[in-house]
Amino acid sequence: MARKMEGRTVTEIREPIPLIGSIAFGIIDRGTNVLQVRVTSVCGMCCKFCSVDAGPCSKSRWNEFVITDIEWLKRWVSEVVKFKGGDIEILLDGIGDPLEHPQITEIVSGLREIEGVKSIALETHGLRLSFDLVDELARSGLDRINLSIETLNPSKAKFLAGRDDYDVSKVKEVIEYTVSNTPIDVHLTPVLLPGINENDVIEILLWGKEIGVGKKWPPFTVQKYVRHKRGRKVKGVKEWDWDYFWKWIDETERKYGLKLKWSMDEWGMRYAPKLPTLYEKGSRVKVEIVSRGHIKGEWLAVPIPNRNVVITLVGVAGDIGKRVTVRIINNKDNIYLATP
C-alpha cells in the first residue's frame, strides 16, 4: 500500500514482500556478525553532504519505504540470524533515519526477543532524539546510538542539516543525558568536510571524551566525505584522497591523545556465514513489479513464482502488476539490480 508524503509516495512493506534484495529496506548481510536492518528510507533532514540524497529536498527520489509489519520483519531477521549462527549485532541504519519510523521502540523490543541477537545499535543524525524517546529506547533494549553530528555550532549545524529548526544544542543535551542516565552507549561518527568542519570535528571528539561516550564500544569514528554519483555535493568542498585523510587522522590521534582507528576485534566483529546468492549475474528472471523503487524511474519486482527476494529494475517501463523478464546485472551482498 502506498501513501503520499512530501510529493513522493510512501510504500508500506508487509507480508508477502521479501525483506532481502533491496538497498532501501530490509536486511543486508555483508558476511560478518553485524546485520544491517533497514526499517525506513524516510529522513527528515536535508544534509548538504548527504551521500544518498535523502530528505524532503531530494531531487532523485520518487518513493520511500516503511516496514509496517513488525512480525514479518522479526520472522525474516530470525531466520537470517539462525542461518548465521547467532552472536549477531543488529545495526538499524539506512538510506533514511531509523528514528523516523513511528514504531521504532516496538521494533527494537521485537528484535531483542530474537534468539541469537546479542546487541542492537541505531544510526541517527539526532533530529528526532528526545529525553522521553531515549528512555523508551533504553527500556526496549537498545544498546548503542551511532550519532552522526558534524558540528556543535548552532548556526553551522542548521546550515549543514539543511533545516532551520535543527537544534544541535538539544541533541547535545539528550546525548549527555543518554550517557549519564541510561545503559545506552554512544558512538560519535562525524563526517569530515574539508575546509568546513575540521576544527568542529575535533571539538566533537573532545566533547565526547569529556562526557564519556564509548562505555562498551569504540567512542568515535571520523567519516571521510566522499562525493557520490547520486549524493549531494557541498559547494566549495574538495574531497581529500585517502592518504591525506589517514594522515589527518594520525595527526589528530597524536595531538589530542585520541584513538580513531579500530579493528574488527575491538568492535566485537567477526566473519560469519553469508547468505547464498540466489541469482547470478547474467541470469534471466521472470518478475512481477510490486512497487516503485526509491530512485525516479526505478521499480521493485519479485521473482515469480517463488517471490524470494526483491529486485530493483533499471530501465524498465514499469507498472505495478506488470510481468517482465529481466537480466541480473548486480548481486553484491544479495542486493539485486536488473535491466530488461
Map out the domains of the chain as residue ranges: 2-267, 284-339
CA angle at 293 for the pair 288 and 299, rounded to the nearest 5°:
35
Q: What's the rounded Cα separation, in Å, for the pair 2 and 11?
A: 4
Q: What's the rounded Cα separation, in Å, for the pair 17 and 24?
A: 13
CB atoms within 10 A of CB 169: 11
Reported as a single tens digit per residue, the pLDDT across 9-44 is: 999 999 999 999 999 999 999 999 999 999 999 999
Reported as a single tens digit per residue, the pLDDT across 149-185 is: 999 999 999 999 999 999 999 999 999 999 999 999 9
DSSP letter, residue 249: H
Residue ranges of E strands in 8-149: 8-13, 26-29, 34-38, 63-67, 88-92, 117-124, 144-147
The model carries a pTM of 0.95
Contact 81, 36 (CB under 8 A): no
Residue ranges of E strands in 125-271: 144-147, 185-188, 191-192, 223-224
Answer whether 2-267 and 284-339 agree in fold.
no
Mean pLDDT of 52-59: 94
CB atoms within 10 A of CB 332: 10
Q: Which CATH number applies to 284-339: 2.120.10, 3.10.450, 2.60.40, 2.40.50?
A: 2.40.50
Contact 311, 281 (CB under 8 A): no
The gap between the terminal CA atoms of the chain, to the nearest Å, is 25
Reported as a single tens digit per residue, the pLDDT across 71-106 is: 999 999 999 999 999 999 999 999 999 999 999 999
State the cell numbers at 46: 536535508
- Please name which of 77, 82, 61, 101 lies closest in space to residue 26, comparing C-alpha atoms: 77
CATH fold of 2-267 reads TIM Barrel (3.20.20)
